[in-house]
Chain A
Amino acid sequence: MRYVLLCVGNEHPWTQAGPEERQAVYARWGAYNGFLAERGAGVGGHELAHSSTATTIRKNGDQFLITDGPYAETVEQISGYVLVEAGDLEEAIELAGPMPSDVEIRPVPAREAS
């Protein structure tokens, strides 16, 4: 099965982080990507720019309402995702364990995974 591991959390510390702190965080993500590669489980993934750069479109029939900002204005936002291949939820949880952030695990429905 495929799972998307969504990287969730408060974005504020990241915006305040200095170059050294950022480098340290990127190093941890680098190590995590190494772990996924070693397991042969990583299928793809990206860091996302800050939610203040988000644009949201709400659709109502033919009408498009375009607004600035993320879909839900909450303190915790999605700041990245990793797509992994795992045998079951147990393995997905194991793969999410070393990820340097809180994680929301979402299964990809089977017909789209293959």
Chain B
Amino acid sequence: MKAVEQAYRGQWARLLALLTAELRDLDLAEESLQDAFAAAVAAWPPVPDNPPAWLLTTARRRAVDRLRRTAVAARKLPLLVVDEPRPPEEPGPRKLPDERLRLVFTCCHPALSMEARVALTLRCVGGLTTRQTARLFLVSEATMAARLTRAKKKISQAGIPYRVPEGRELAGRRDGVLAVLYLIFTEGYAAAEGERLIRDESAGEAIALARMMAELMPADSEVRALLALMLLHHARRHARLDAGGRLVRLAEQDRSLWRHDEIAEALDLLAPALLPPVPPGPHLPGPQPPGQYLPGPYLLQAAIAAEHVSAAGAHDTDWEAIAGLYELLERLTGSAVVRLNRAVAVAEAFGPARGLELLAGLEAELPRHHLLPATRADLLSRLGRLEEAVEEYGRALELVATAPEREFLLSRRGTAIQALSG
């Protein structure tokens, strides 16, 4: 059993990618490979000398069986658009060509809905079962199965090619892939609803996928930055909730609970990118204006997270540097959420009044975001404007979704009310 599990973990995506290119049918490839792993559970041990080659051969045979059983005329879906159909060759242990990037870019194609991209990526690239994928997104297995089938049909019928984009297209599409991975990560990081704030599992999946992307696109600093960003957040998972399941803010977290090995790995990943200006070279993503170094959004976010974890204690945090990074990020993204975070950093660096100024008018863009009134409440109470603070805490409580965050806000409001009456 162990060898099969190991092969599944390590080889699923590569084998599926390879089979998909050969068969030009994602659905058939997936089912045949699933069959092959089921056959391995029965046939191993003895474990074959070359498990991936064994699985591939078995899956090919199963595909032929399946095709024989369905008459050609009954085939409903057109074949995938694959550039050069490669002749099936007998692969050696290290000779399997790595097709995973094609699979990733197809699963994350912008012509698919975001939901479909996430589901396909977890199922096809991450190797999660339909049931596991469904559980991560709190939908029924039937719903997830239907979503996956719809997505695969769209790929085939709309003619989404099985291809890694080239040239100018690549940077934009790469960002699309990273957005899918980051969404999987944030879903796990803070479930929008429900009792458990941290769902380690999907965060772990996202990190595994980002690790794979960093391996496949080693020259791309944004890919490395995304992996580093995830590691830096995830490294704090054991410190984020206290024994009673209550939320602990970054400043109050027990830093000895952080996974310092993961933090070190992340800082290593960032090291080459955090030394601007770097002369443009093959190790930088996309076309760069000569002599100018333009950090991407993930690099900026990772740099911010790195500033936080590099401080010896909360009081040593370089808030001015963080405020500056957020300013760059806001300019790059124009995001209201980034402005909210920037306001927090500015408040720490230059006082709560300056932070409050930056929050003015953000309701228009973030009407349902509890962190906006929560942040404003915090800054107001630090300025001694307690009545306004209590009001803002009330607003935040109307919008908050997770139980730990609700408890946190209730206790903060309680403190403010006490200070008012005292």
Contact = CB atoms under 8 A, between A and B. Distances in A.
A88 B159 contact: yes
A104 to B, nearest CB: 12
A1 B156 CA distance: 11
A90 B81 CA distance: 10
B81 A88 contact: yes
A109 interface: yes
Contacts of B165: 90
B159 A92 contact: yes
A63 to B, nearest CB: 32
B81 A87 contact: yes
Contacts of A105: 158
A93 B161 CA distance: 12
Query: Interface residues of A: mostly helix, strand, loop or mixed?
Result: mixed
B78 interface: yes
Contacts of B111: 89, 93
Determine which residue in B81, B160, B163 has the highest number of CB atoms from chain A within 10 A of its CB, and name it.
B81
Interface in B63-90: 78, 81
B157 interface: yes
Contacts of B109: 89
Contacts of A87: 81, 159, 161
Contact of A90 (B78, B157, B161): B161
Interface in A85-114: 86-90, 92-93, 105, 107, 109-110
B78 A89 contact: no
B233 to A, nearest CB: 34
Nearest to B78: A110
Nearest to B80: A88
A72 B372 CA distance: 40
Nearest to B161: A88
Contacts of B161: 87-90
B116 to A, nearest CB: 14
A87 B157 CA distance: 13
Contacts of B163: 88, 90
B83 to A, nearest CB: 9
Interface in A2-37: 3
Nearest to A94: B169
Interface in A24-59: none
B7 to A, nearest CB: 32
A86 B161 CA distance: 11
Nearest to B163: A90
A1 to B, nearest CB: 5
A1 B81 CA distance: 10
A109 B160 contact: no
Contacts of B78: 1, 109-110
A89 to B, nearest CB: 4
A109 B159 contact: no
Interface in B98-121: 109, 111
Nearest to B169: A90
Nearest to B109: A89
Nearest to B157: A107
A86 B160 CA distance: 11
Nearest to A87: B81
Contacts of B160: 88-90
A100 to B, nearest CB: 22
Interface string B139-169: 0000000000000000001111101010000
Contacts of B159: 1, 3, 86-89, 92, 107
A1 B80 CA distance: 11
Nearest to A90: B161
Given A88-B159, A89-B161, 20 more contacts: A1-B78, A1-B81, A1-B159, A3-B159, A87-B81, A87-B159, A87-B161, A88-B81, A88-B160, A88-B163, A89-B109, A89-B159, A89-B160, A90-B161, A90-B163, A92-B159, A105-B158, A107-B158, A109-B78, A110-B78
21 contacts: A1-B78, A1-B81, A3-B159, A87-B81, A87-B161, A88-B81, A88-B163, A89-B111, A89-B158, A89-B160, A89-B161, A90-B160, A90-B161, A90-B163, A92-B159, A93-B111, A105-B158, A107-B157, A109-B78, A109-B157, A110-B78
Interface of B: 78, 81, 109, 111, 157-161, 163, 165
What are the 4 A-B residue pairs with the smallest beta carbon separation, nearest first? A88-B161, A88-B81, A88-B159, A89-B159
